[in-house]
């Protein structure tokens, strides 16, 4: 069941149509989607939607495209289990349900005028791409922008074509690293941990904000490197993942002590959560 036009319940999915599906890697696909009623999704970079398929359940997925790209929104989806497995069988023209957008976005009002360091690992590039595209489309609003991305291997990188565009663009300083490289891989970045990309960066901590989205193991090490460079927790943003059910602050499944990841996050300033047990 999906919502009738004009219905605004937080719990009823809106019917959406898949415009196209493309492979990002063997295990990750990009879905370009529009609401069936033609209404824009109305998201901000960093927000997520609850995707549902009748009989397969529901899962939170970050919006991977910027609201500045109009007429559609995109989701980068890793085949992880029930719902995402069923999604990977969908084709252009198929339908799915969407609730949202939900959650706290990147604070664009505080990012404007600042130099940005946008750090992502693995699947974390999907939500970060929404912010990167936003910066690409509104270049005058931000200072310098460094993009740091780490993946398991060159083949595991998401959005390879866009990474090449960002690397070639004078607007971005783009550095990439992979854990492993094989003979014959075409890759111009470095081999090693993403933390190695931070010491060479030259930036003024008073006018710089860093944002981090990636696998749980990445956060502490990346944050330690940023702190060593003099960037305080008040200038570091983290986007966190938790098991979610309702997505709208009712069920408590996503709690981080007194905070709810679905409402107070998923985007947090580090100083808001670093003292909470189990946050990172
Ligand atoms: C805010 C937020 C944003 C997110 N954004 C994205 C995104 O942009 N892209 C993306 O791909 N994912 C994203 N995720 C993660 C995604 O929501 C989860 O991977 C989700 O669980 C997928 O749903 P599913 O039904 O496919 O997987 P599930 O069936 O829930 O399985 C998820 C994991 O649990 C394991 N599992 C399932 N059942 C069992 C069991 N019985 N016993 C043991 N292990 C089990 C599976 O092997 C798998 O590793 C996001 C999550 C959050 C909270
Ligand atoms: S998912 Fe229900 S409160 Fe956050």
d(CA 156, CA 177): 11
- Record the tokens describing residue 215, joined without a space: 């696998």
d(CA 201, CA 197): 7
d(CA 82, CA 148): 31
- Record the tokens describing residue 5, joined without a space: 């036009």
The pLDDT score that the predictor gives to residue 188 is: 82
The pLDDT score that the predictor gives to residue 6 is: 57
Looking at 28-124, list the stretches that DSSP marks H as alpha helix, in order from N- to C-terminal side: 82-87, 108-111
State in Å: Cα 63 to ligand 1 middle.
15
Domain residue spans of the chain: 14-102, 108-239
List the chain residues with pLDDT less than 50.
none
Choose the residue to mutate in 49, 50, 58, 246 for probing ligand 2, maximizing ligand atoms within 8 Å of C-beta. 246
Q: What would be the CATH architecture of the domain defined by 14-102? A: Beta Barrel (2.40)
266 Cβ inside 6 Å of ligand 1:
yes
Looking at 123-267, list the stretches that DSSP marks H as alpha helix, in order from N- to C-terminal side: 125-137, 160-168, 216-228
Instruction: Look at ligand 1, atom 36, and give the residue with the nearest C-alpha.
Output: 81
Domains 14-102 and 108-239 alike in fold:
no
The answer to whether 222 and 149 have CB atoms below 8 angstroms apart is: no
d(CA 123, CA 213): 8
The pLDDT score that the predictor gives to residue 3 is: 52
The pLDDT score that the predictor gives to residue 7 is: 59
What's 108-239's CATH class?
Answer: alpha beta
The pLDDT score that the predictor gives to residue 73 is: 98
- Record the tokens describing residue 261, joined without a space: 């990841």
The pLDDT score that the predictor gives to residue 278 is: 85
d(CA 198, CA 222): 8
Choose the residue to mutate in 52, 61, 87, 104 for probing ligand 1, maximizing ligand atoms within 8 Å of C-beta. 61
- Record the tokens describing residue 108, joined without a space: 């664009």
- Record the tokens describing residue 147, joined without a space: 């993009």
Q: Name residue, tokens 């107070």.
A: 264
């Amino acid at each position: 069941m999906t919502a009738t036009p004009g219905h605004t319940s937080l719990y009823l999915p809106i019917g959406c149509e898949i415009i196209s599906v493309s492979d990002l890697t063997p295990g990750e696909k990009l879905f370009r989607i529009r609401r069936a009623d033609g209404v824009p999704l109305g998201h901000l970079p960093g927000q997520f939607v609850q995707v549902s398929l009748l009989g397969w359940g529901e899962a939170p997925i970050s919006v991977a495209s910027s609201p500045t790209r109009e007429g559609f929104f995109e989701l980068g989806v890793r085949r992880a289990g029930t719902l995402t497995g069923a999604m990977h069988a969908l084709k252009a023209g198929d339908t799915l349900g969407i609730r949202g957008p939900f959650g706290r976005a990147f604070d664009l009002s505080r990012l404007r005028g600042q130099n940005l360091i946008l750090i992502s690992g693995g699947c974390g590039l999907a939500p970060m791409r929404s912010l990167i595209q936003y910066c690409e489309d509104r270049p005058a609003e931000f200072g310098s922008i460094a993009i740091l991305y780490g993946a398991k291997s060159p083949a595991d990188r998401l959005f390879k074509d866009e990474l090449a565009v960002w690397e070639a663009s004078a607007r971005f300083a783009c550095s990439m690293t992979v854990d492993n490289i094989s003979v014959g891989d075409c890759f111009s970045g470095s081999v090693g941990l993403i933390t190695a990309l931070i010491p060479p960066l030259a930036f003024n901590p008073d006018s710089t904000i860093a944002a981090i989205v990636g696998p749980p193991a990445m956060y502490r090490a990346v944050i330690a490197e940023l702190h060593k460079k003099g960037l305080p927790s008040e200038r570091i943003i983290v986007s966190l993942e938790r098991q979610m059910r309702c997505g709208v602050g009712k069920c408590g499944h996503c709690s981080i002590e007194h905070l709810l990841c679905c409402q107070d996050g998923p985007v947090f300033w580090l100083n808001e959560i670093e003292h909470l047990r189990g946050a990172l």
